Structure 1
Amino acid sequence: MRRSMLFMPGNNAGMLLNADALGADSIILDLEDAVSPKEKDSARILVRNALKFLNYRNCEVIIRINSIDTEFWKHDLNEIIPMKPDMIMVPKVNCAKDVQIVADYIQSVEKMHNIEKPTAIMPLIETAMGVENAFEIAKSCERVKAIFLGGEDLTADLRCKRTKKGDEIFYSRGRMVVAARAANIAVYDTPFTDVKDEAGLKLDSEFAKGLGFTGKAVISPRHVMSVNEVFSPSKEEIEYAYEVMEIIKVAKEQGKGAISLRGKMIDAPIVERARQTIEMSEAMGGEFYG
C-alpha cells in the first residue's frame, strides 16, 4: 500500500543509506533525470550495490531507469533486475509498445538469472501522447501495476507554464485516474515541487486524493509525513467503515433489503468505500492520522 513515494538521486550514497528511515512507503531510486550522462555508470553500480547489501525493510524499492530512446536503459536493467527490485519505473512512456519493449527485455534478464517472480512495471506518463494513450498503457502488460503522472515534463510538452494550482494538468490528472481505475491498477500523482510550501503541498495532495489518486510522489523527505497523512484514513473514517460493515452484516442476517446508518441510506458504493477504508487501515497495521 503506497501513499508516498520519495524520489532519491541514484548517485547520492548518503540518501541511499538513510532511505529506509525517511517514512515513505516507497523510495524511487532515480537513474534518469537526477544523474548526468557521465555519472550513469557509477550511479547504476551504486544503486545495484545498495539493493544487494542494504536491507530496506520499511519501504518498497522502485528503480527509475533511463528511457528507451537512450543507450542506458538496457544497462540499467542488466544490473538492477538480478537484485530483484520491487518495481521498475519506465520514463517517457508514450504507448503500449514502449512498455512491451521494456517488459520483453526484463523477461530476458529474469530468464538469464533464473528469476521466477515477474518484476512489476510502473510507466511514467509525461507527454501529451502518453496521456491520450493512458488506458492503452495501463492495460499493455500484466507487469503494469500502476501508472504515474509526470507533471514537469508534461507541461513542457504541452507548452504551458507549470503552476502550483495545477489547472494546466487538470485534464491529464483526470484522464490518468480514469484509465487506471478502468484497468484496475494504482495511479500516482506528480510531486509538488515547492519544498518550503507545506500548506500548498497539503492542498495539492487533498485535491489529488479527491480526484481518485492512490498516492503521491514527493521530492523531499520533508513532504513525506504530509502526504502520508492526507492519503491515510482518519480514525473517524475507519470507525465509520467498520460501522457500515457491521450494519450490513446485521441487515443480511435479518433479511432486510435496505438499511440506514446515522440517517443515511447505506448503498453499494458506500459499502465499497468502507471496504476500501478497512483494507487500507489493515495494510497500515491499524495506523491512522487525525
Structure 2
Amino acid sequence: MSLNRSMLLVSGNSPKRLQDAAVFNPGLLVLDLADEVKDEDKDSARLLVREAIRFLDYEKVKLAVRINTLKSGFGTKDIEVISRVKPEAFLIPQASVEQLQDVEIMLALAEKEGALESGGIKLIPVIETVKALDGISSILSVSSRIVGAFFNADGLAKELGMTRTQEGDEILYARSKVAIACRAAGLNSFDTVFTESNDEEGLLKDARKARNLGFTGKAAINGRQIEIINHVFA
C-alpha cells in the first residue's frame, strides 16, 4: 500500500455515511465494525459493509475495514464475510502478536477458499493498549501483510485513566514511539484523531505536530477534517 496522508473512519452502521464518505477524498477510507457499532448491531453492520463495498463507488479511494477483536466473538465472522469482497486491508484493534498471528491464519484460509490472491489483504494493527505500545516492534514484524499502524490515543487513555488535552502532552511519548517504530520498519503510521471536529486551527496545529513527530498521516472521524490533514501531510 502506497503512502497515505489521511484516514477517515466511518461507522459501518450508517448507510448515509457509507455512501457519502468517499467524496472527502481520504487517503484511506476505513469502514468501522468495531468502536462505532453496538454489539446488537454487529451482524447487520457487517452485512451492510459487505454490500457497500460491492455496490458503492469507492474506486477513487483505498478501502479498509476495522474488524472487531477475535476475543469479542465477532472478529472471526468479520474476516470470513468481508474478506470475500477484497478490501485493501483490515485494521486490527487492540493489536497483539498472538491476535495478528491468528488473523494471518484465518486470512490465508479465507483467501484460499475464496480463490483470492494470497497475501492480498493487508493488515494495519491498532496501537491502543499499554501492551501493544510496549511491544510495537514485535507487532509490526509479525506478518508480511502489515503495511502500517494506527495509534488510537483514546484507547490508551482509557486504559491508563488519562484525560486527553488538545495540547497532547500526556500522549507525547506514545506518539513518538509509534511514529519512530513505523519509520524504522519502513511502514505507514497514522496519528490519532483530533476530536474537536469544529476547531480547524486546533486540527492544523495537531496535524503539524504529528507530522513533525514522524507520522506519515493522521486519522479523522469527520470528513471535513480531511482537507486540512491532506494539506499538512502533502
TM-score under structure 2 length normalisation: 0.96
Distance 1:175 1:189 in 2: 11
> For 1:12 and 1:54, how far apart are their aligned partners in 2?
13
Q: CA deviation at 1:8?
A: 0.4
Code of the residue aligned with 1:111 in structure 2: it is K
SS of alignment partner, residue 69 of structure 1: helix
| Structure 2 residue ranges without an equivalent (≥5) | none
Q: Deviations 1:94-136 (Å, cap 9, x if unpaired)?
A: x322211111111111111111242100000101111011111
Q: What CA distance in whole angstroms lies between the structure 2 residues aligned with 1:66 and 1:50?
A: 18
In structure 2, the residue matched to 1:86 is 88
Supply the distance in 2 between the matched residues of 1:22 and 1:71 (Cα, whole angstroms): 33
SS in structure 2 at match of 1:124: strand
Residues 162-181 of structure 1 deviation map (CA, whole Å, 9 limit, x = unaligned): 11111111111111112111
Q: How does 1:234-249 map to 2 (within 5 A)?
A: none
- Deviation string, structure 1 residues 225-263 (Cα, Å, up to 9, x no partner): 11011001xxxxxxxxxxxxxxxxxxxxxxxxxxxxxxx
Once superposed, what is the RMSD of the aligned Cα atoms? 0.9
Aligned to 1:261: none
2:70 maps to which residue?
A: 68
C-alpha distance in 2 between matches for 1:216 and 1:198:
14
Whichever residue aligns with residue 173 of structure 1, its letter is R
Residue in 1 that maps onto 2:28: 26
Q: Is the 8 A contact 1:21 1:58 kept in 2?
A: no
Alignment-derived partner of residue 54 in structure 1: 56
Is 1:105 the counterpart of 2:106 in the alignment? yes
Q: Secondary structure at the match of 2:71?
A: coil
TM-score for the superposition, normalised by structure 1: 0.78
Amino acid aligned to 1:174: S
Question: What are structure 1's unaligned runs of at least 5 residues?
Answer: 233-290
Runs of 4+ in structure 1 deviating by more than 2 angstroms, as ranges, are none
SS at match of 1:78: helix
Distance 2:158 2:22 in 1: 33
Aligned residue type for 1:103: E
Whether 1:168 aligns to 2:170 is yes
- Corresponding residue number in structure 1 for 2:210: 208
Which structure exhibits the higher relative contact order, with contacts defined as CA atoms closer than 8 Å and separated by 6 or more residues?
Answer: 2
Counterpart CA distance in 2 for 1:21 and 1:55 is 10
Structure 2: how far apart are the matches of 1:178 and 1:221? 27
Q: CA deviation at 1:189?
A: 0.3
The question of whether the paired residues in 2 share the 8 Å contact of 1:65 and 1:90 is answered with yes
